[in-house]
């Protein structure tokens, strides 16, 4: 276990033999760090936190620290991070709270760029990209393969669906539908299917066209949401992606951006 002599690692921390703890890192008790994970320098981690293998933390990131939620009073809560993630400079990750399931969870192969903030009880899937300065309020859920542009803020309890892309500097106060591109230069609106991203992920032309038509019915056909869903169900093939889109809308508690 290569631990720099200036690092402080609590005896109760569990650090894999192939992990690397760089200069001036502080690792508290009940922190578990997996194989080949690298903490470059000046990383602060509190437990209970589990960090899987092959993660990289750039300088001045903080992991598993107490929530900023004023309802948090020190109850036991957790942080869980998967494998192969990259956390750039000054990323902040807060542990969960009793009111939110007591867990902040991040999946695998995500890229969190500099100054990203992950608040309490956030759940991030896998293969996402969160650009510089993205701020996730408490209880936010981010689906797999989502891309969130720089300095975008997501309100508490909002959800971002799979394969969605959100443009930079957006203020998001409702759920973002899967497979869409959404941006808020002045107002938040959907511009269509995330065609480029879906093509890169291997979605068929037929599936993308069906999604594009469904999204157009939802956002540009002059129909309310109920009418648009009825038309989609009557006229479009019931692909897995269409079913996921409609289920996402039906399950929304805050309404979806159109």
Domain ranges, ordered by start, for the chain = 8-142, 196-251
Task: Report pLDDT for 1.
Answer: 63
pLDDT in tens, 21-74: 999 999 999 999 999 999 999 999 998 999 999 999 999 999 999 999 998 889
Given 69, 108, 121, 175, which residue is catalytic? 121
Is 64 in the active site?
A: no
pLDDT above 70: residue 125: yes
Structural contact between residues 152 and 137, judged by C-beta atoms closer than 8 angstroms? no
pTM of the complete model: 0.89
Given 120, 123, 139, 163, which residue is catalytic? 120
Q: Which of 61, 49, 40, 38 is nearest to 14 (CA)?
A: 49
Cα 28 to chain center, whole Å? 25
Give the span between the Cα atoms of 33 and 46, in whole angstroms. Answer: 11
Is 138 in the active site?
A: yes
Give the span between the Cα atoms of 51 and 8, in whole angstroms. Answer: 17
CA 56, 109, 140: angle at the middle one, nearest 5?
100
More confident residue, 2 or 12: 12
Give the span between the Cα atoms of 193 and 211, in whole angstroms. Answer: 6
Given 138, 143, 153, 197, which residue is catalytic? 138
pLDDT in tens, 177-229: 999 999 987 677 888 999 999 999 999 999 999 999 999 999 999 999 999 99
> How large is the average pLDDT for residues 143-169?
97
Is 120 in the active site?
A: yes
CATH architecture of 196-251: Up-down Bundle (1.20)
Task: Report pLDDT for 187.
Answer: 73
Domain spanning 8-142: CATH 3.30.565.10 = no
């Amino acid at each position: 276990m290569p631990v720099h002599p200036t690092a402080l690692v609590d005896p109760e921390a569990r650090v894999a033999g192939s992990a690397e703890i760089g200069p001036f890192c502080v690792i508290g008790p009940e922190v578990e760090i997996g194989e080949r994970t690298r903490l470059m320098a000046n990383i602060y981690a509190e437990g209970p936190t589990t960090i899987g293998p092959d993660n990289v933390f750039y300088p001045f990131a903080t992991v598993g620290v107490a929530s900023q939620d004023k309802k948090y009073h020190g109850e036991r809560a957790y942080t869980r991070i998967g494998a192969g993630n990259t956390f750039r400079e000054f990323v902040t990750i807060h542990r969960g709270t009793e009111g939110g399931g007591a867990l902040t969870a991040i999946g695998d192969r995500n890229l969190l760029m500099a100054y990203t903030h992950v608040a309490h009880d956030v759940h991030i899937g896998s293969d996402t990209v969160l650009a510089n300065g993205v701020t996730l309020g408490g209880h936010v859920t981010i689906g797999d393969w989502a891309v969130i542009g720089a300095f975008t803020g997501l309100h508490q309890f909002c959800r971002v669906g799979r394969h969605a892309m959100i443009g930079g500097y957006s203020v998001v106060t409702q759920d973002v539908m899967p497979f869409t591109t959404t941006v808020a230069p002045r107002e938040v609106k959907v511009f269509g299917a995330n065609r480029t991203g879906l093509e890169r992920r291997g979605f068929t032309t037929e599936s993308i066209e069906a999604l594009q038509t469904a999204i157009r019915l939802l956002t540009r056909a002059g129909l309310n949401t109920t009418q648009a869903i009825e038309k989609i169900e009557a006229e479009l093939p019931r692909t897995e992606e269409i079913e996921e889109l409609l289920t996402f809308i039906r399950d929304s508690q805050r309404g979806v951006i159109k």
